[in-house]
């Protein structure tokens, strides 16, 4: 059988011939193998038009093919028929070792193996039988197995299986309830924890407000006092020019400025010492017993402007 398979094997692809074609030199190859060879030889040669060169893979002689190439070569009909018959009748091949027939029975693994499996594969040293003996033994084992199984036992087995199934089902249901109860308890604990955390955060909010609000109010008070201080400063400058230093009218413009500045500084120092040392105290902005509303300040500023222009 091995020699026959070798004769039916293509020397290019080492598989059984597929659509075998005969070259003029009488050598035969698969149609697809010849197409591959032709493609290589055409791309590496300069040849006369309308003829395709092909070098036989066996005898290396160059043959010319017509333009329709390998398809023009005659089919080796006889060889094709033998290959088809061989494929139908040959024993199944080993899945581990391609093209090796499964012709040995491994007793240990109760499995068909090939010669390679036994000598170099996974079944080295295993007890074996030839196919005929294995077939007889397996038939005997099968009939013994059939005899040992009585119908009543089979029925009883089915009943036992049904009971076993019920018992397993009850166990699963029980486990299911346990898991449900566990997670319900977990939900309750989580809800309580959440409530406690939220309450703590609410308390933190209240604490934050009580810490920040007085500070914010204090800064606002200071801003108001600062504005009032600026207004008071301007009032003091203008009033000094009219009331406290009439002799300044006789001085030069620069001297008036100096006197005003010094008086203003003295007033501011006193005011800051009095009020900003305690920002919450209501400010008294009228050291010269006059009201310091915005309108009055504006009228004083106008008078000062007229006075300065006159100088
Ligand atoms: Zn081939
Ligand atoms: Zn040849
Ligand atoms: Zn094998
Ligand atoms: Zn084995």
Mean pLDDT, to the nearest integer, of 235-245? 63
How many whole angstroms from 10 Cα to the centroid of ligand 1?
4
Tell how strand 28-30 and strand 20-22 pair up: antiparallel
How many whole angstroms from 79 Cα to the centroid of ligand 1?
13
- CA 119 – CA 162 distance, rounded (Å): 48
How many whole angstroms from 68 Cα to the centroid of ligand 2?
20
Q: Phi and psi dihedrals of 150, rounded to 5?
A: -95, 155
The larger pLDDT score, comparing residue 289 to residue 136, is at 136
- CA 225 – CA 302 distance, rounded (Å): 25
The model's pLDDT over 71-110, given as tens digits with 9 standing for 90+, comes to: 999 999 999 999 999 888 877 889 898 878 888 999 999 9
The 8-class DSSP code of residue 97 comes to S
- CA 178 – CA 301 distance, rounded (Å): 89
pLDDT at 274 over 90: no
Q: List the shell of residues around ion ligand 4, using CB closer than 5 Å.
A: 106, 108-109, 123, 126
pLDDT at 291 over 60: no
Q: How many CA atoms within 13 Å lie on the side-chain side of 272?
A: 9
pLDDT of residue 279: 47
SS (H, E, C) 158-186: HHHHHHHHHHHHHHHHHHHHHHHHHHHHH
Query: 2-89: which CATH architecture?
Result: 2-Layer Sandwich (3.30)
pLDDT at 169 over 90: yes
How many whole angstroms from 121 Cα to the centroid of ligand 4?
9
Q: Which ligand is nearest to the CA of 127?
A: 4
What are the sequence ranges of the domains in the chain? 2-89, 104-148, 222-310
How many whole angstroms from 261 Cα to the centroid of ligand 4?
118
How many whole angstroms from 18 Cα to the centroid of ligand 1?
7
The model's pLDDT over 181-231, given as tens digits with 9 standing for 90+, comes to: 999 999 999 999 999 999 999 999 999 999 999 999 999 999 998 888 888
ipTM of the modeled complex: 0.62
């Amino acid at each position: 059988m091995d020699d026959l398979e070798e004769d039916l094997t293509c020397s290019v692809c080492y598989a059984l011939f597929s659509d075998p074609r005969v070259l003029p030199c009488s050598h035969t190859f698969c149609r697809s193998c010849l197409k591959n060879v032709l493609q290589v030889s055409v791309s590496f040669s300069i040849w006369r038009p309308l003829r395709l060169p092909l070098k036989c893979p066996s005898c290396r002689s160059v043959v010319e093919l017509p333009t329709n190439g390998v398809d023009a070569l005659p089919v080796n009909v006889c060889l094709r028929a033998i290959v088809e018959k061989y494929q139908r009748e040959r024993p199944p091949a080993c899945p581990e070792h391609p093209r090796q027939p499964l012709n040995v029975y491994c007793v240990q693994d109760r499995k068909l193996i090939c010669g390679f499996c036994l000598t170099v594969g996974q079944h080295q040293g295993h007890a074996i039988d030839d196919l005929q003996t294995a077939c007889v033994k397996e038939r005997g084992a099968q009939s013994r197995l059939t005899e040992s199984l009585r119908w009543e036992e089979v029925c009883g087995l089915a009943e036992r299986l049904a009971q076993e199934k019920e018992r397993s089902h009850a166990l699963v249901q029980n486990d299911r309830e346990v898991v449900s109860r566990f997670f319900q308890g977990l939900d309750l604990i989580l809800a309580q924890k959440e409530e406690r955390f939220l309450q703590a955060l609410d308390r933190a909010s209240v604490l934050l407000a009580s810490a920040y609000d007085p500070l914010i109010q204090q800064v606002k008070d200071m801003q108001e006092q600062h504005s009032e201080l600026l207004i008071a400063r301007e009032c003091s400058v203008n009033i000094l020019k009219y009331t406290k230093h009439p002799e300044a009218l006789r001085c030069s413009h620069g001297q008036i400025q100096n006197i005003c500045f010094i008086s203003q500084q003295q007033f501011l120092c006193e005011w800051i010492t009095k009020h900003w040392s305690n920002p919450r105290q209501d400010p008294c902005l009228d050291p010269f017993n006059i009201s310091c509303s915005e309108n009055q300040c504006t009228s004083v500023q106008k008078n000062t402007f007229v006075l300065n222009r006159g100088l």
